[in-house]
Amino acid sequence: MHAAVSRLSLDEKISLLTGDSFWTTRGVEHAGVEGAVLTDGPHGVRLQTGSADHLGINDSHPATSFPTAAATGSTWDPELLEEMGEALGRESRALGVDVLLGPGVNIKRSPLCGRNFEYFSEDPLLAGALGAGWVRGLQAQGVGASLKHFAANNQETERMRVSAEVDERTLREIYLPAFERVVKEAEPATVMCAYNRINGTYASEHRWLLTDVLRDEWGFDGYVVSDWGAVSNPPAAVAAGLALTMPAAGPRHAADIRAALDRGDLDEAAIDLAVSRILTVHDRLRAARGETPAVDHDAHHALARRIAAESTVLLANEDGILPLSADEGSIAVIGEFARSPRYQGAGSSHIQPTRLDAALDAIREVAGDVSFAAGFRLDGEADAALVDEAVAAARAARTVVLFLGLPAEDESEGFDRTHIDLPRVQRDLLDAVLAVNERVVVVLSNGSVVSLDGIVGRVPAILEMWLGGQASGSAAADVLFGAAEPAGRLAETIPLRLADNPAHVNFPGSPKKVVYGERVYVGYRWYDRTEREVAFPFGFGLGYTTFELTDVAVSVPDAGRAHAVVEVTVSNTGARDGAEVVQVYVGDPEASVDRPVRELRAFRKVRLAAGESTRVRLELDERAFAFWGETGWTVEPGAFTVEVGTSSRDIVATTEIELDVPPVVPELDLESTIGDWQRHPVGRGVLEGALAAQGGASAAIFADPEISRMMESMPLRTMLGFGGEVDGTAATEALLAQV
């Protein structure tokens, strides 16, 4: 317990459970309690200068606007995210920020989520690894992270009251692992609870989530803070394990806490514990700080530029059209986004950048006086004159670089998209340009996937740059002209159609409820299991050089333990330096439950010079083979497939291994089926003996395979009670006693 708790009155302790203002916590001078400053991230420090708001409406101090998580997810590079976290930490310190709200590690369940630009991936392993790197970098500077939004927060529609109806296996395998990894590996100072309900209970009041899982299972040692305005019942939130309600909740918050104490619904010990956690975390952060570092905004801009290039995914490059040559001939740059960059999302993470690079300016620095035509209006209104101007520029040029993407009003915190199409004016512009010049490079700016129907197969080169931050314009020029490699790989599948998405029929749900009916089949897990064609698979990305993965070896040091070692030789077989991402997937074809065909279980980004090779070693731990079963994480004995590749569809080697781990023995109860009894090492013998003693038809159940299979799913008590002559429940209880 923090020493200051004993020096505080009850009223003072209650006052510390909510903010002092929109962005600060309360201090108590006589007890030595200092207030703290919390502010929005996660891709920049949004410290507001005037009146406070949570939607990015009002001004904030200039700060580096780094690439959004939609972009950085495609880096597949936790170390690079750690560098970004360090820079965010330095800027936070310079602005007096104690806790930066981020990172967001929610899973991209649907491409329609309006806040997908703040989230890394559709895969929890990748999201967790990147989030852990971000947190390590930030907290090394003495600034606390706030891991968000915990949990099952995967849409903006009705986000403050919708109940995510999701089974525990799906939570454990898809929606919780990224949080678990960050908590265990990076020890974030705070975790932010989400707005939504989970199976009917608000996340802010969910004791199983905030205490049983987060603290007791995972060992979380920080404090839980609410999303701004997420607490509807302060006493229930404190009892569940939430410590800090934000923003300042006023006298009503204190009155509700007091009333709950008087009724006996809340114990003062819970208040003491919450206050102690808040003060302990803030003291720990301050103790870790040295002198406030000077911020080199030029260096941070250069870092943002490097990260943007590392995030860029080259989706197509027919005939090696990219990289362009500065002297290859006339170039027409078309698209308003080249002049007016779309570089970040709207809402609480909106940053006032320290500077902003336009791609048009950066391209002209490299290639000279290229022509430019806006081509379309950002408001989506058709403008024939702009199209005519673009067509004239395209006709006169050898190469067209066409900037397309989603306008800001199409994706934001607070609402979801209704489709994944590019605006009609942009699609019409593409058709008009292709009619006069087929040598077109499309550069995309968007915070979540868009349909590439009408683009793929019609243009020779496509660069997906996401929302790449304030230096994305310069990064675009770097990648277009080969000063930087397009080193990104897709962190989410690009479907052919929105209707192919596994959550399509359930998203965003009915009023106040959304059913996660696709269960564990999110993203590539669904597309691969159903063998659906996709535009581009999870993990995909081209480069300006070529790589080869050879000599794959998978070893199992001890078959009695769920552990394997994967080794592969990675060779840069091209003429340029570059990077490749080695991806390891595991499948369990003999599982007793339905499982995805393959799941990402390890990865490594490898940078090699032209002609260079290296041997990569990756380890698969117990969780790599496990599913969430009735008794928790479960690894069953038998065969597993270990696949090595460069996407979920580009597998270069498949190895089958055998694990001789102890079999899982399910516990028998009154609901157990005949099949459960047959599979139980003790129960089978007990049941066979009992049926043999009865003789007649009962004894034939195990002897006749056809009858045995027909009866397998019937509860034993039901079978024993047929005819009403025997009390099936009592008979089953007697057999359970023998077991």
Residues that are catalytic:
227
DSSP H/E element including 524: helix 524-529
Q: What is the DSSP letter of 194?
A: P
Q: Report the C-alpha gap between 433 and 389 in whole angstroms.
A: 10
Give the SS3 label for residue 712.
coil
Cβ atoms of 376 and 417 within 8 Å: the answer is no
CB within 8 Å of 480: residues ≥ 6 apart = 322, 323, 324, 363, 401, 441, 443, 463
Task: State how far Cα 279 lies from the chain centre.
Answer: 30
Is residue 274 within 8 Å of residue 242, measured between CB atoms? yes
Write out 540-583 in H/E/C secondary structure. Answer: CCECCCCEEEEEEEEECCCCCCCCEEEEEEEEECCCCCEEEEEE
* Residue appearing with tokens 């360090």: 86
DSSP-assigned states of every residue in 627-675: EEETTEEE--SEEEEEEEESSSS-EEEEEEEEE-PPPP-PPP-TT-BHH
For strand 201-202 and strand 197-198, is the pairing parallel, antiparallel, or unpaired? antiparallel
532, burial (CB in 10 Å: exposed 0-12, middle 13-18, buried 19+): middle
SS3 316: strand
- 3 state SS of 123: coil
Joined together, the tokens standing for residue 57 give: 């409406």
Cβ atoms of 500 and 150 within 8 Å: the answer is no
Residue 549 region, left (φ>0) first, then alpha (ψ -120 to 50), else beta? Answer: beta
Could you tell me which residues are beta bridge partners of residue 613?
571
3-state secondary structure of 478: helix
Which residues are CB-neighbours of 692 under 8 A, at least 6 positions away?
699
**Residue written as token pair 């899973």:** 107
Give residue for tokens 């299991």.
Answer: 529
Q: Hunting for tokens 């430019």 — which residue is that? A: 372
Please give the C-alpha separations between residue 279 and each of 144, 183, 245, 288, in angstroms, as whole numbers: 13, 19, 14, 14
Nearest Cα neighbor of 293 from 140, 144, 188 is 140
The span from the CA of 152 to the CA of 569, in Å, is 38
Phi and psi at residue 579, to the nearest 5°: -135, 145
The answer to whether residues 643 and 585 touch, using CB atoms and an 8 Å cutoff, is yes
Question: Which residue is it, tokens 């301050």?
Answer: 286
Tell me the H-state helices in 375-423: 384-396
Residue found by looking up tokens 């199209």 in the block:
387
Strands 223-226 and 38-40, sheet pairing: unpaired
- Give the amino acid at 634: T
Residues 6+ apart with CB under 8 A from 174: 107, 124, 520, 522
| Integer CA distances (angstroms), 507 to 252, 419, 510, 516, in order | 35, 12, 9, 8
d(CA 219, CA 180): 10
Cα–Cα distance between 623 and 638 in angstroms, integer? 15
Beta bridge partners of 39: 100
The DSSP H or E segment spanning 333 is strand 331-334
